[in-house]
Structure 1
Amino acid sequence: MIEEYLKRAGCSKGVIAHSRAVRDLALTFAADPVVRADLVAAGALLHDIGRGRTHGLDHAEAGGECCRSFGLPAPVTAIVERHIGAGLTADEASLLGLLPRDALPRTIEEKIVAHADNLVKGTRVITIEERLLRSIDLPRKMRKRMYRLHLEMELFR
Protein backbone atom coordinates (compact mmCIF):
# COMPACT_ATOMS: atom_id res chain seq x y z
CA MET A 1 0.00 0.00 0.00
CA ILE A 2 1.26 3.49 -0.87
CA GLU A 3 0.77 4.82 2.67
CA GLU A 4 3.47 2.41 3.86
CA TYR A 5 6.04 4.57 2.05
CA LEU A 6 4.93 7.55 4.15
CA LYS A 7 5.40 5.54 7.33
CA ARG A 8 8.80 4.24 6.19
CA ALA A 9 9.85 7.82 5.47
CA GLY A 10 8.96 8.85 9.02
CA CYS A 11 5.85 10.91 8.29
CA SER A 12 3.59 11.73 11.22
CA LYS A 13 -0.07 10.76 11.47
CA GLY A 14 -0.94 14.40 10.76
CA VAL A 15 1.04 14.41 7.51
CA ILE A 16 -0.61 11.14 6.49
CA ALA A 17 -4.09 12.51 7.27
CA HIS A 18 -3.30 15.65 5.24
CA SER A 19 -2.07 13.51 2.35
CA ARG A 20 -5.29 11.49 2.38
CA ALA A 21 -7.33 14.71 2.28
CA VAL A 22 -5.25 16.00 -0.65
CA ARG A 23 -5.74 12.67 -2.45
CA ASP A 24 -9.49 12.76 -1.93
CA LEU A 25 -9.75 16.30 -3.27
CA ALA A 26 -7.33 15.65 -6.13
CA LEU A 27 -9.42 12.72 -7.32
CA THR A 28 -12.40 15.07 -7.81
CA PHE A 29 -10.33 16.64 -10.62
CA ALA A 30 -9.32 13.29 -12.14
CA ALA A 31 -12.57 12.10 -13.75
CA ASP A 32 -11.56 13.24 -17.25
CA PRO A 33 -10.23 10.30 -19.31
CA VAL A 34 -7.08 12.27 -20.22
CA VAL A 35 -6.07 12.26 -16.54
CA ARG A 36 -4.31 9.24 -15.04
CA ALA A 37 -6.31 8.93 -11.83
CA ASP A 38 -3.96 6.23 -10.48
CA LEU A 39 -1.02 8.61 -10.85
CA VAL A 40 -2.97 11.46 -9.23
CA ALA A 41 -3.88 9.22 -6.27
CA ALA A 42 -0.31 7.99 -5.76
CA GLY A 43 1.25 11.42 -6.22
CA ALA A 44 -1.25 13.10 -3.92
CA LEU A 45 -0.70 10.55 -1.17
CA LEU A 46 3.09 10.89 -1.46
CA HIS A 47 3.38 14.63 -2.18
CA ASP A 48 4.55 15.40 1.38
CA ILE A 49 6.72 12.31 1.90
CA GLY A 50 9.70 14.62 2.43
CA ARG A 51 8.06 15.92 5.62
CA GLY A 52 9.41 12.79 7.28
CA ARG A 53 12.79 14.60 7.11
CA THR A 54 11.97 18.31 7.10
CA HIS A 55 9.02 20.67 7.30
CA GLY A 56 10.74 23.44 5.37
CA LEU A 57 10.26 24.30 1.71
CA ASP A 58 12.97 21.76 0.98
CA HIS A 59 10.52 18.97 1.84
CA ALA A 60 9.75 18.65 -1.88
CA GLU A 61 13.44 18.06 -2.68
CA ALA A 62 13.75 15.64 0.25
CA GLY A 63 10.59 13.90 -0.94
CA GLY A 64 12.02 13.44 -4.42
CA GLU A 65 15.16 11.88 -2.94
CA CYS A 66 13.01 9.62 -0.78
CA CYS A 67 10.90 8.51 -3.76
CA ARG A 68 14.03 7.68 -5.77
CA SER A 69 15.49 5.72 -2.83
CA PHE A 70 12.27 3.67 -2.67
CA GLY A 71 12.43 3.05 -6.43
CA LEU A 72 9.13 4.83 -7.11
CA PRO A 73 8.26 5.73 -10.72
CA ALA A 74 9.61 8.99 -12.16
CA PRO A 75 6.12 10.50 -12.74
CA VAL A 76 5.31 10.11 -9.02
CA THR A 77 8.68 11.61 -8.05
CA ALA A 78 8.00 14.58 -10.36
CA ILE A 79 4.65 15.23 -8.66
CA VAL A 80 6.39 15.24 -5.26
CA GLU A 81 9.13 17.60 -6.44
CA ARG A 82 6.78 20.04 -8.22
CA HIS A 83 3.87 20.42 -5.78
CA ILE A 84 4.98 23.53 -3.86
CA GLY A 85 2.36 26.27 -4.40
CA ALA A 86 2.01 26.45 -8.15
CA GLY A 87 5.63 25.43 -8.61
CA LEU A 88 8.91 27.30 -8.51
CA THR A 89 11.18 28.52 -11.28
CA ALA A 90 14.88 27.74 -10.97
CA ASP A 91 15.55 31.37 -9.99
CA GLU A 92 12.83 31.32 -7.31
CA ALA A 93 14.14 28.02 -5.94
CA SER A 94 17.66 29.43 -5.77
CA LEU A 95 16.49 32.58 -3.97
CA LEU A 96 14.75 30.35 -1.40
CA GLY A 97 17.95 28.38 -0.80
CA LEU A 98 16.80 25.34 -2.75
CA LEU A 99 18.52 23.61 -5.63
CA PRO A 100 18.32 25.94 -8.65
CA ARG A 101 16.08 23.81 -10.82
CA ASP A 102 12.73 24.27 -12.48
CA ALA A 103 10.05 22.79 -10.25
CA LEU A 104 6.97 24.01 -12.11
CA PRO A 105 4.21 21.41 -12.54
CA ARG A 106 4.00 20.43 -16.21
CA THR A 107 1.68 17.45 -16.57
CA ILE A 108 -2.00 17.58 -15.77
CA GLU A 109 -1.45 15.14 -12.90
CA GLU A 110 1.30 17.35 -11.41
CA LYS A 111 -0.95 20.39 -11.69
CA ILE A 112 -3.91 18.63 -10.09
CA VAL A 113 -1.89 17.57 -7.05
CA ALA A 114 -0.31 21.02 -6.62
CA HIS A 115 -3.76 22.63 -6.83
CA ALA A 116 -5.39 20.16 -4.44
CA ASP A 117 -2.56 20.70 -1.95
CA ASN A 118 -3.14 24.46 -2.17
CA LEU A 119 -6.78 23.90 -1.25
CA VAL A 120 -6.20 21.66 1.78
CA LYS A 121 -5.12 23.18 5.09
CA GLY A 122 -4.45 20.29 7.45
CA THR A 123 -7.38 18.06 6.54
CA ARG A 124 -9.83 20.88 5.80
CA VAL A 125 -10.65 22.01 2.26
CA ILE A 126 -10.34 25.80 1.92
CA THR A 127 -11.16 28.24 -0.87
CA ILE A 128 -8.62 29.71 -3.25
CA GLU A 129 -9.34 33.08 -1.67
CA GLU A 130 -8.35 31.74 1.76
CA ARG A 131 -5.20 30.18 0.29
CA LEU A 132 -4.23 33.45 -1.37
CA LEU A 133 -4.84 35.38 1.87
CA ARG A 134 -2.65 32.88 3.72
CA SER A 135 0.01 33.37 1.00
CA ILE A 136 0.04 37.17 1.12
CA ASP A 137 3.74 37.18 2.05
CA LEU A 138 4.63 35.47 -1.25
CA PRO A 139 5.69 37.57 -4.22
CA ARG A 140 2.79 38.74 -6.39
CA LYS A 141 3.90 36.67 -9.39
CA MET A 142 3.78 33.48 -7.29
CA ARG A 143 0.27 34.30 -6.06
CA LYS A 144 -0.82 35.04 -9.64
CA ARG A 145 0.64 31.69 -10.77
CA MET A 146 -1.32 29.98 -7.98
CA TYR A 147 -4.54 31.69 -9.08
CA ARG A 148 -3.95 30.83 -12.76
CA LEU A 149 -3.40 27.20 -11.76
CA HIS A 150 -6.70 27.36 -9.87
CA LEU A 151 -8.53 28.65 -12.94
CA GLU A 152 -7.02 25.95 -15.15
CA MET A 153 -7.69 23.08 -12.73
CA GLU A 154 -11.24 24.07 -11.86
CA LEU A 155 -12.15 23.25 -15.47
CA PHE A 156 -11.60 19.59 -14.55
CA ARG A 157 -13.94 19.53 -11.59
Structure 2
Amino acid sequence: MKTQDEYILLLKKAGCDEKVIQHCIAVRDLSLIYAKNAGADIELVNAGALLHDIGRSQTHSVAHGQIGADISRRFGISEEICLIIERHVGAGLSAEECREYGLVPKDCIPLSPEEKIVAHCDNLIKGTKVISVEERLSLSSKLNPDAIKRLKKLSEEIEKFSGKNTKGTKRINREK
Protein backbone atom coordinates (compact mmCIF):
# COMPACT_ATOMS: atom_id res chain seq x y z
CA MET A 1 0.00 0.00 0.00
CA LYS A 2 1.08 3.55 -0.69
CA THR A 3 1.30 6.45 1.76
CA GLN A 4 -1.32 9.20 2.02
CA ASP A 5 1.01 11.56 0.16
CA GLU A 6 1.41 9.04 -2.67
CA TYR A 7 -2.36 8.67 -3.02
CA ILE A 8 -2.79 12.45 -3.02
CA LEU A 9 -0.15 12.69 -5.74
CA LEU A 10 -2.21 10.22 -7.81
CA LEU A 11 -5.29 12.44 -7.34
CA LYS A 12 -3.26 15.42 -8.56
CA LYS A 13 -1.72 13.45 -11.43
CA ALA A 14 -5.23 12.46 -12.55
CA GLY A 15 -6.22 16.15 -12.49
CA CYS A 16 -8.36 16.45 -9.35
CA ASP A 17 -8.74 19.96 -7.98
CA GLU A 18 -8.02 20.90 -4.37
CA LYS A 19 -11.69 20.79 -3.32
CA VAL A 20 -11.97 17.17 -4.48
CA ILE A 21 -8.74 16.29 -2.67
CA GLN A 22 -9.92 17.90 0.58
CA HIS A 23 -13.24 16.06 0.25
CA CYS A 24 -11.40 12.75 -0.22
CA ILE A 25 -9.34 13.42 2.92
CA ALA A 26 -12.53 14.20 4.90
CA VAL A 27 -14.17 10.99 3.66
CA ARG A 28 -11.01 9.09 4.60
CA ASP A 29 -10.98 10.58 8.11
CA LEU A 30 -14.59 9.56 8.75
CA SER A 31 -14.15 6.17 7.06
CA LEU A 32 -11.26 5.28 9.35
CA ILE A 33 -13.42 5.89 12.43
CA TYR A 34 -16.05 3.51 11.08
CA ALA A 35 -13.46 0.98 9.88
CA LYS A 36 -11.75 0.76 13.27
CA ASN A 37 -15.07 0.19 15.03
CA ALA A 38 -16.15 -2.41 12.46
CA GLY A 39 -12.86 -4.31 12.35
CA ALA A 40 -12.49 -3.63 8.62
CA ASP A 41 -9.18 -3.56 6.73
CA ILE A 42 -7.83 -0.13 7.71
CA GLU A 43 -5.28 0.14 4.88
CA LEU A 44 -7.86 -0.80 2.27
CA VAL A 45 -10.39 1.72 3.64
CA ASN A 46 -7.68 4.40 3.82
CA ALA A 47 -6.67 3.88 0.18
CA GLY A 48 -10.19 3.48 -1.17
CA ALA A 49 -11.48 6.56 0.64
CA LEU A 50 -8.56 8.72 -0.48
CA LEU A 51 -9.02 7.67 -4.12
CA HIS A 52 -12.82 7.28 -4.21
CA ASP A 53 -13.38 10.48 -6.23
CA ILE A 54 -10.36 10.25 -8.56
CA GLY A 55 -12.87 10.01 -11.43
CA ARG A 56 -13.99 13.57 -10.66
CA SER A 57 -10.85 14.61 -12.50
CA GLN A 58 -12.86 13.76 -15.65
CA THR A 59 -16.52 14.23 -14.68
CA HIS A 60 -18.76 15.10 -11.76
CA SER A 61 -21.56 12.86 -13.05
CA VAL A 62 -22.41 9.42 -11.65
CA ALA A 63 -19.92 8.07 -14.21
CA HIS A 64 -17.07 9.21 -11.95
CA GLY A 65 -17.16 5.89 -10.08
CA GLN A 66 -16.53 3.70 -13.12
CA ILE A 67 -14.17 6.25 -14.67
CA GLY A 68 -12.23 6.54 -11.40
CA ALA A 69 -11.84 2.77 -11.19
CA ASP A 70 -10.49 2.72 -14.76
CA ILE A 71 -8.03 5.54 -14.01
CA SER A 72 -6.87 3.72 -10.88
CA ARG A 73 -6.39 0.45 -12.77
CA ARG A 74 -4.16 2.32 -15.25
CA PHE A 75 -2.15 3.59 -12.26
CA GLY A 76 -1.68 -0.01 -11.12
CA ILE A 77 -3.95 0.24 -8.07
CA SER A 78 -5.17 -3.10 -6.67
CA GLU A 79 -8.54 -4.42 -7.79
CA GLU A 80 -9.86 -4.31 -4.19
CA ILE A 81 -9.28 -0.56 -4.10
CA CYS A 82 -10.65 -0.10 -7.63
CA LEU A 83 -13.88 -1.83 -6.58
CA ILE A 84 -14.26 0.58 -3.65
CA ILE A 85 -13.94 3.45 -6.13
CA GLU A 86 -16.30 1.88 -8.66
CA ARG A 87 -18.99 1.01 -6.11
CA HIS A 88 -19.03 4.12 -3.90
CA VAL A 89 -21.56 6.27 -5.81
CA GLY A 90 -24.59 6.79 -3.56
CA ALA A 91 -25.21 3.35 -2.12
CA GLY A 92 -24.09 1.81 -5.39
CA LEU A 93 -25.73 1.44 -8.77
CA SER A 94 -27.50 -1.61 -10.13
CA ALA A 95 -26.62 -2.88 -13.61
CA GLU A 96 -29.95 -1.49 -14.83
CA GLU A 97 -29.23 1.95 -13.32
CA CYS A 98 -25.77 1.89 -14.92
CA ARG A 99 -27.42 1.13 -18.28
CA GLU A 100 -29.90 4.00 -17.78
CA TYR A 101 -27.00 6.38 -17.08
CA GLY A 102 -25.10 5.20 -20.18
CA LEU A 103 -22.45 3.40 -18.13
CA VAL A 104 -21.07 -0.10 -18.49
CA PRO A 105 -24.12 -2.14 -17.42
CA LYS A 106 -22.76 -4.03 -14.42
CA ASP A 107 -23.60 -4.19 -10.75
CA CYS A 108 -21.74 -1.45 -8.89
CA ILE A 109 -23.29 -2.14 -5.48
CA PRO A 110 -20.83 -2.14 -2.55
CA LEU A 111 -20.35 -5.68 -1.24
CA SER A 112 -17.34 -5.81 1.09
CA PRO A 113 -17.33 -4.05 4.47
CA GLU A 114 -14.65 -1.69 3.14
CA GLU A 115 -16.71 -0.80 0.05
CA LYS A 116 -19.79 -0.19 2.19
CA ILE A 117 -17.92 1.97 4.72
CA VAL A 118 -16.46 4.27 2.04
CA ALA A 119 -19.80 4.59 0.21
CA HIS A 120 -21.60 5.37 3.47
CA CYS A 121 -19.01 7.90 4.65
CA ASP A 122 -19.01 9.62 1.25
CA ASN A 123 -22.78 10.06 1.72
CA LEU A 124 -22.09 11.66 5.10
CA ILE A 125 -19.59 14.23 3.83
CA LYS A 126 -20.67 17.33 1.91
CA GLY A 127 -17.50 19.11 0.86
CA THR A 128 -15.49 18.56 4.03
CA LYS A 129 -18.35 18.68 6.55
CA VAL A 130 -20.22 15.78 8.13
CA ILE A 131 -23.95 15.72 7.41
CA SER A 132 -26.72 13.29 8.35
CA VAL A 133 -28.25 10.69 6.06
CA GLU A 134 -31.44 12.76 6.15
CA GLU A 135 -29.52 15.81 4.94
CA ARG A 136 -27.95 13.72 2.15
CA LEU A 137 -31.36 12.48 1.07
CA SER A 138 -32.73 16.02 0.99
CA LEU A 139 -29.79 17.03 -1.24
CA SER A 140 -30.38 14.03 -3.51
CA SER A 141 -33.93 14.73 -4.64
CA LYS A 142 -33.31 13.12 -8.05
CA LEU A 143 -32.69 9.65 -6.60
CA ASN A 144 -35.11 6.93 -7.65
CA PRO A 145 -37.00 5.04 -4.92
CA ASP A 146 -34.70 1.99 -5.16
CA ALA A 147 -31.61 4.17 -4.69
CA ILE A 148 -33.18 5.88 -1.66
CA LYS A 149 -34.06 2.51 -0.15
CA ARG A 150 -30.47 1.25 -0.75
CA LEU A 151 -28.97 4.38 0.81
CA LYS A 152 -31.11 4.02 3.94
CA LYS A 153 -30.37 0.29 4.19
CA LEU A 154 -26.62 0.88 3.77
CA SER A 155 -26.71 3.54 6.49
CA GLU A 156 -28.54 1.26 8.92
CA GLU A 157 -26.17 -1.63 8.19
CA ILE A 158 -22.98 0.40 8.64
CA GLU A 159 -24.21 2.19 11.75
CA LYS A 160 -25.17 -1.18 13.26
CA PHE A 161 -22.00 -3.15 12.56
CA SER A 162 -19.63 -0.30 13.30
CA GLY A 163 -21.43 0.79 16.46
CA LYS A 164 -21.24 4.39 15.24
CA ASN A 165 -23.93 6.98 14.85
CA THR A 166 -23.67 9.97 12.54
CA LYS A 167 -24.40 12.32 15.43
CA GLY A 168 -21.25 11.08 17.14
CA THR A 169 -19.12 12.00 14.15
CA LYS A 170 -20.01 15.70 14.23
CA ARG A 171 -16.81 16.33 16.18
CA ILE A 172 -14.89 16.01 12.91
CA ASN A 173 -16.51 19.27 11.79
CA ARG A 174 -15.14 21.02 14.87
CA GLU A 175 -11.62 19.69 14.24
CA LYS A 176 -11.44 21.20 10.75
Q: TM bucket by the smaller chain?
A: over 0.9
Classify the secondary structure of the residue corresponding to 2:16: coil
Give the equivalent residue in structure 2 for 1:114: 119
Give the equivalent residue in structure 2 for 1:68: 73
Listed as ranges, the matches of 1:128-139 within 5 Å are 128-139=133-144
1:153 partnered with 2:158: yes
Give the equivalent residue in structure 2 for 1:142: 147
TM-score with structure 1 setting the length: 0.97
2:64 counterpart (34, 59, 64):
59
Q: Deviations over 1:56-102 (max 9, x none)?
A: 11111110111110000110000000000000110011011111011
The residue identity in structure 1 corresponding to 2:152 is: Y
Give the equivalent residue in structure 2 for 1:14: 19
- Runs of at least 4 residues of structure 1 off by over 3 A? none
> Structure 2: which 5+ runs fail to align?
1-5, 165-176
Classify the secondary structure of the residue corresponding to 2:120: helix
Q: Cα RMSD between the aligned structures?
A: 1.0
Classify the secondary structure of the residue corresponding to 2:93: coil
TM-score with structure 2 setting the length: 0.87
The residue identity in structure 2 corresponding to 1:144 is: K
Instruction: State the distance in 1 between where 2:120 and 2:8 align.
Output: 21
Give the equivalent residue in structure 1 for 2:47: 42
> Structure 1: which 5+ runs fail to align?
none
Displacement after TM superposition at 1:137 (Å): 1.8
2:131 counterpart (122, 126, 141):
126
The residue identity in structure 2 corresponding to 1:152 is: E
Give the equivalent residue in structure 1 for 2:168: none
Q: Deviations over 1:18-54 (max 9, x none)?
A: 0000000111101146410110011000000011111
Instruction: State the distance in 2 between where 1:87 and 1:61 align.
Output: 11
